[in-house]
Each structure stands twice: as C-alpha cells, then as structure tokens.
Amino acid sequence: MSTTPNKRPNQGGAATLGKVLGAALSTLLAACTGNIGSGAGVGAGSGPSSGPPAGLGTGGSSTNGAAGSAPGVGGSAPAGSCMSLGSASNFHRLNAKQYQETVNQLLFTQQALLQDLPADSSLYGFDNNADTSLTAATTQKYLDVAESAVKAALASADARAKLVPCSLTTNAATCVKTVLTGWLPLAFRRPVTPQEVDKYAGYTSLCSSSGEAGLSCALQAALLSPSFLFRSELLSIPEAAACTEAAPLVSTAQGVLSQYALASRLSYFLWNGPPDAELYSLAASSTLNDPQVLGAEVDRMLGADANAGHKVGFIHDYPAQWLPLTALASVQPSPSVFPAFDEPLRQAMADESLAFFAEVVSGNHSALDLIKADYTFANERLAKHYGLPGVTGTELRKVDTTGALRGGIPTQATFLTATSSTENTSLVLRAKWVLKNLLCVELPPPPPKALIDSVPIPDPGLGLTNRESLERRTAGEPCHSCHLNINPIGFGLETFDGIGASRTTDKGKPIDSSGELIGGLKFGNTSELLTLLRNDDRFPACMTTKLLTYALGRGMVANCDQSEIDALTAAFKADDLKLRNHVVRIVQSNLFRSARARAEVVQ
C-alpha cells in the first residue's frame, strides 16, 4: 500500500500542517490498523453540554464499545493485532457522499466537498464498496479537504459557536480538550478513551502555539484518522467472521457486531451519514441489537421528517445507483432525431424515478410495482411527453395511469433514454439492464470485437426495423445463444422510442413487440412482457440480493450468505413483496447484525 512519505517535521512554526498530519497518517497505516474498532467501551459521557449524546463520551474498557488506537504522538497497537488495511475484510472506507455528509454534521456546515474528494469506484453495482487502500494521491486529497473544511467551519460564526463552546484565548489548552472530549466520540462514532483525547490535544503544541491553530490541527488530525475515515467492523475474535468453502460461517455471539458498529452500519445504510443521538443512546444501553428495536429504528429513519434532513440517504441514493440515472445525466439525444428532448424533460425524468421509488418504499407497496404499476409521478412537461392528460404545472405529482402503459421502471423515460443511443433505441442495452438489475442474470462477456465485427451488418438501405436488423445479425453464432435471453426483452420494449415516448411504428412499419422468453413463455405486447417479469420467481431473490449488497457494502458470498438470502426471499414473497417491510427484515437479519468476511461472490 502506498501512502504519503513518512517524514516527521520539526515541531517549530515552520513545520507544515500537511507534513505533520501526513506523517501521522502514514505511520499509522503503514504500521498497523488491526486494532481499530476494539478497546474502549461505553463510558459515562464526560463531554460538555454541547458534546456527545449520553453514553457516547470517554470511558474505559467494555465489550459493548468499539474504540481504537488514535493516530497521536507515540500511538501504537497491541502486539499481535496488526493486519494490512488493504486486505482487511471488515473495514469500509467512507465514500465521497458519506464523507461530505459526516464532515458537515460534525462541523455544522453545508460545504460542497465531493469534487475535491477521491473518486469512488463501483463494485457489485454500488459505490459504497470503496477500496480500503490509500495511495499517496488519495491521502493528499484527504489532507487538503480536512484542512479546508475545518478552516471554513472555524471561520463561520454560526458553526464556530456550536463547535467551540469555550474561549481559545484565555485558556487554550483546556478549551481544546473540552472541544475534543465532546467531539471525538462523534467523529469516531463510538466512545473514546481519555488517552485518545490527550493524544489529539497533543497536536496543538505540535502544530502551533496558538489555540485557534492548534484546535484546527487537532480536528484535521481526527478527520485523517482511520477511526474516522473507516467504519470498522472488527470482532474481538476475528476468526468469528471467517468463512471458507470448507467451513461456512455460522452466526454466533462472537460474530455479532458491537452496538456502535451496528449503529454506524444502520445509519450509513439508511442515511449515508453518521448515527444520531437516538442511535447512540440505544447503542449505549446495549439494546440496539434487539430485532424489535431495529425495526422501530428503520421506521423512524425512513420517516418523512428524518429523510428530509438526509438528502443522500437510501431513499435517494439506492435508486440513483440502481437505476441508470448517471447515464441519464450525461446522455445527449440527437436534436435532429429527438427535438422534444431538453433539460427540463431530463430533470423531470430523473425526478419521476426517484419519486416513484420513494413512494414504493414509504407506502410499503409491493416491489412488483417497480416492474409494472398503475401509477407514476409526472409534471406537465413529462405528462405531455407520455401522453397523460390532466397534469398541469411544474410540480411533480402522483398520477393514476390505469389503462396507460406507464408505471414501473421499464416504462419510465429515465431507463428508456439512458439505455438508448443518441439516435435510436438499443434493444440490447435495455434487455441487459432488465436481466442484470431485475433478475440478476449475469450474461457472459461478448465475443472478441474482431469476431463481432465479422458478423455482417444489414444494409441500412433495406429499411429494416430495429427488431429485424437485430434478428438477422444474431441469427447465428457467436451471438445466437446469448441473444436468446436478450432479444425477446428488447423486442418487448420497442414500443418506446429513444427518449421514452410511445410509438407505434419503426422505419414506417408497425412495431412488433411480441416475443418468447427462454422456457417457452410467450407475450404479445409490452404489457404482457411486464406481467411475465412480475411473475418471474427470480425477481424477489434478485431484489433481496441487491438490497443486501447495498446495505452491507459488499458482494454476497455463496457458501456463507445464500441460505439467509433464500430465507429472506421466502419471507419477502410470503409478505406480498412489501418493500418497506423487507428493508426492516434485512436490518433485523443475522446477515445485517453480524460481521462477514469477503470471499467468493455469488454476483
């Protein structure tokens, strides 16, 4: 693992903050990270009135808590507890959205930090599976963002008043320690020890003789700590999370997450942000792990009031990643082919999909509505695009679509536009998205480009429809075997053009949206295809797998997770696939409440 050079500057005023903090972070990560998340436990909470919630303060050792060695002067880990962070299976680095949300809550600000943070990669379809390694480049970005964020907070009168409840001029050392005693537990999302507070307070003299600059340095150091950057889910007995082909993981008391690790897992699942006072209080009382308590917390956290304050939470972020909203944001339909497309329409498309998903969750509707429903959300611009009467104004509202072919992801312009080319529909892209994201069918990679290019492209002068052209090109191998899965779904969605408007002809010929799925299931039109997809037994299992992947921030492991996936799916089906209930069920599951190692992945 590459980190910033470990150069310890002198302690004089000429020493730069970046070098001091970079050295601390580099030393910690290079030396040991295995004890992050173990050690200190539930304390009595000794912070000031503006400090952490009851139970989240400074304390001693307890099996309920989760503290760790802080990157302070002379900090070290117990012998035998070290491991490589890059290979640790129970660390989750905050992604950019989570980092921004967490820092802004800690500093009482609303700073736009995303553009300056390391870019997130997507694994298993979501970006909360962030790589745990830190390179020199990513470390420098965290250094720069921590410095600018803390300085901006201290320069804001409102933020400073909430962050610093004491005078940094009359008694700087005491004030810094007061701030850190209340703030560090919130930053590390678990109780801290008095020794940790002392270590971070020690940064003040290392960086500056000024109380203001010293506090700034200490806060920045905390934002560079693995206890902040990573959510640790280490267990007191690491072997309890091990899972191999020869020894599948069995849930045991030793494998259950600590109360504070569970609070963080829940808050970053539903809010993409840190726990609030209620979650910390439940963790401190050792009651959060109770399934009934967890169910009540999910209901609270998904409530309208709670979600209003968490704009990047599950309700918004899951569909934004599951649906092709990123592609929609960048797609540029040809103005000559699709003159009706404009930016207000693009925005209305995205808003529809997000509002529709939120309705399915908040209204506890069947997840089958995600495939086919008799309602959607539209404003006047989108309703006109869809041919839906009676909708006026710019405000998005719920619209009854009984009798119209609108309702469900496959009929929404977000999906239909994002899976089209600039001038035409793409039967293949549409079908592949449905197979992968609704049925969890992983198609083999396409043949080598040279082999694909050897298949003749039908002459455009023949005036073939999209269907006819694809049928000709995929009639033989190397394409035919895979396209038996792909083509029928693409055919069934040809009633929508490249920006999701309804159409009845292609190249002057009537649209043929009939087809036959593998297994002999035939459909005569788009509506019948969607009904078959609603009845496909693969959808409940796929939805369960997707939700678990997002909730846990990892892929599913065949020999460790499949039995619980099957049990959750069975309960989902028995509950008529009510989606909000299923989110509760997932949080209450052993999978969510326990630690798991990453190994071979189902999908």
pLDDT per residue over 124-165, tens digit each?
899 998 667 778 888 899 999 999 999 999 999 999 999 999
Q: Which helix (H) or strand (E) holds 86?
A: none
Q: What is the DSSP letter of 332?
A: -
For residue 82, pLDDT over 70 is answered with no
- Alpha carbons 373 and 365: distance in angstroms, whole number: 10
Please give the pLDDT value at position 476: 87
Please give the pLDDT value at position 54: 63
Say what the alpha-carbon torsion angle 549, 580, 262, 70 is, to the nearest 10 degrees: 70
- Strand duo 375-378 + 397-400: pairing: antiparallel
CB neighbour list of residue 590: distance below 8 Å, 6 or more residues apart? 251, 564
Helix 538-552 × helix 314-322 angle, to 10°: 120
- Alpha carbons 562 and 444: distance in angstroms, whole number: 22
Residue-wise burial string across 78-113, b where 16 or more C-beta atoms lie within 10 A, e elsewhere: eeebeeebeebbbbbbbbbbbbbbbbbbbbebebeb
Please give the pLDDT value at position 459: 83
- Alpha carbons 180 and 409: distance in angstroms, whole number: 48
Of 81, 77, 60, nearest to 69 (Cα)?
Answer: 77
For residue 33, pLDDT over 90 is answered with no
Which residue would you say has higher pLDDT here, 117 or 242? 117
Please give the pLDDT value at position 357: 98
Of 207, 254, 260, nearest to 53 (Cα)?
Answer: 260
Q: Is 91 helix (H, G, I), strand (E, B) or coil?
A: strand
Please give the pLDDT value at position 244: 58
- Model confidence at 3, in pLDDT bands (50, 70, 90)? very low
Is 489 in contact with 476 (CB distance < 8 Å)?
A: no
Please give the pLDDT value at position 135: 83
What's the pTM? 0.87
For residue 250, pLDDT over 60 is answered with no
Residue pLDDT, tens place only, 498-546: 999 999 999 999 999 999 999 899 999 999 999 999 999 999 999 999 9
**Which residue reads 């500093």 in tokens?**
107
Please give the pLDDT value at position 557: 78
For residue 78, pLDDT over 60 is answered with no
Residue ranges with strand state E in 173-281: 230-232
Task: Average the pLDDT over each of 15-24, 397-406, 464-473, 587-596 and give the range with the smallest value.
Answer: 15-24
Please give the pLDDT value at position 67: 34
Longest dimension (CA), the chain: 86
Q: Across the strands, what pairs with 378?
A: 397
Give the whole-number percent of the chain exceeding pLDDT 90.
65
Mean pLDDT of 404-410: 97
Q: Is 61 helix (H, G, I), strand (E, B) or coil?
A: strand
For residue 26, pLDDT over 70 is answered with no
The mean of the pLDDT values for the chain is 84
Cβ burial, residue 512 (10 Å; 0-12/13-18/19+): middle
- Alpha carbons 6 and 13: distance in angstroms, whole number: 19
Please give the pLDDT value at position 338: 98
Residue pLDDT, tens place only, 370-385: 999 999 999 999 999 9
For residue 561, pLDDT over 80 is answered with yes
Residue pLDDT, tens place only, 204-247: 877 776 889 999 999 999 999 999 999 987 665 555 555 655 55
- Model confidence at 75, in pLDDT bands (50, 70, 90)? very low
- Model confidence at 310, in pLDDT bands (50, 70, 90)? confident
Q: Amino acid letter at 591?
A: L
